[in-house]
Amino acid sequence: MPKDPPYPFHLCQPDVEKSCGACCGLYNLHDHSRATLEGFLQERASLFFALGRDPDLSLYRRSLAPPTPANPKLSEAIYNCEFLGFLDREKKRVGCLLHPSLHQGVNLREYSFYGPDLCAGHFCPSFTHLTKLEQEAVLTVLDDWYLYGLVITDIDLVKEFFRHVQDRLGESLHVERLVDSEAREALRAFFRLKEFWKFASTENRLGKYDFSHSEYQIARIEYEKNWKIKPPRFAKILLSLSSAFKTQEDILEAEYLIEEKIKNFTEAYLSASPLF
């Protein structure tokens, strides 16, 4: 991390409770469930740290389990870095096993696919597309690597949720109110839909992107073609949740579930202790 980061928060490694490895290909697998990712992150960390202070990186690479055909990459154009693993015994943070902070200042990232300059200098679109308020809200309520990475990189999900909330409030959100436990939990409950959405497609999807073709593209939900209806008010949120609907009743239920989460958060936020 640079001494003077050009953005208000370092979204990759924001604190000791969580981190994000999406740019390193963390979620670039057909099965990117928590259990699957936790398994290979732990395997990599165990293998790497067992090699001691001067790791033999060629031995490390040879020791890794080969990719399984049963769980292919979503996109061949995105590199899945083999040096992404858990950084701590508590399995709270994912990150680069070659980072100089783990090796007494020695930068081993020259052995990575992208090299040290790109790894150190890359900032994902969330740094610039999410406002300071939106970033801080996500950082305040999420405290686990898996959900944090899914949410902080889903720009549409975050921006659309807060747009609907602030339209109802008639004012900008005050992040300070998220110290209230009920407001914080209500926001966390919405974000958990990224992991537990009942209408999520199981076919080559990650958020709003469809990986069914050689190059990924934004998925389409054919509301007018399939059900003769206009896209619903929560269309961007539904797309970010990788939704796939079979019936119009499914769409109505999905809208109800989103509305419930927004309503619950708005009520909890308004009930929180005043700022002054």
Task: Say whether both 158 and 257 belong to one domain.
Answer: yes
Q: Answer whether residue 213 shows pLDDT above 80.
A: no
Question: Quick check: is 160 in a domain?
Answer: yes
Q: What is the pLDDT of residue 1?
A: 44
In the block, tokens 């199981």 appear at 202
The answer to whether residue 238 is domain-embedded is: yes
pLDDT per position as a tens digit, 162-175:
999 999 999 999 99
Number of structural domains the chain divides into: 2
| Torsion angle defined by CA atoms of residues 180, 186, 191 and 196, in that order, rounded to the nearest 10 degrees | 140
- Shared domain for 64 and 116, answered yes or no, is yes
Nearest to 262 by CA among 136, 145, 173: 173
Residue 144 within any structural domain of the chain: no
Tell me if 62 is assigned to some domain: yes
Q: Name the least confident of 29-38, 58-67, 173-182.
A: 58-67
Q: Is the pLDDT of residue 10 over 50?
A: yes
Residue 5: pLDDT band with limits 50, 70, 90: low
Q: Looking at residues 147-165, what average pLDDT do you find? A: 99
In a domain, 141, yes or no: no
Mean pLDDT of 123-136: 96
- Tell me the C-alpha distance between 8 and 2, whole Å: 12
Mean pLDDT for the chain overall: 93
Is 172 a member of any domain?
yes
Percent of the chain with pLDDT over 70: 96
- Rounded (10°) CA dihedral 179, 151, 1, 5: -70
Which pLDDT does position 90 carry in this prediction?
95
Whether residue 103 is found in the same domain as residue 206: no
State pTM to two decimals: 0.93
pLDDT tens by residue, 183-197: 999 999 999 999 999
- Residue 206 corresponds to which tokens in the numbers above? 């990650």
SS3 54: coil
Q: Which amino acid appears at position 120 of this protein?
A: A
Buried b / exposed e along 78-115 (16+ C-beta atoms within 10 A):
eebbbbbbbbeeeebbbbbbbbeebeeeeebbeebeee
The two three-digit tokens of residue 175, written as one number: 């992040």
pLDDT in tens, 81-112: 999 999 999 999 999 999 988 887 888 888 88
Q: Are residues 223 and 117 in the same domain?
A: no
Q: What is the pLDDT of residue 67?
A: 81
Q: Examine the domain organization and report whether 95 and 196 are in the same domain.
A: no
- Residue-wise pLDDT for 221-250, tens only, equals 999 999 999 999 999 999 999 999 999 999
The verdict on 200 and 247 lying in the same domain is yes
Average pLDDT (200-229) is: 91
Residue 122: pLDDT over 90: no
Q: What is the pLDDT of residue 140?
A: 97
The reply to whether 149 falls in a domain is no
Alpha-carbon 147 to chain mean position: 6
Tell me the residue range of the domain where 94 lies: 22-124
Going by C-alpha positions, the residue among 267, 204, 256, 261 that lies closest to residue 233 is 256
Report whether pLDDT(206) > 70: yes
Q: Is residue 148 domain-resident?
A: no
Whether 74 and 120 share a structural domain? yes
What is the per-residue DSSP string for 62-117? Answer: HHSPPPPTTS--S-TTS---TTEEE-STT---EEETT-GGGTTT---GGGSSS-HH
Do 32 and 114 lie in one domain? The reply is yes
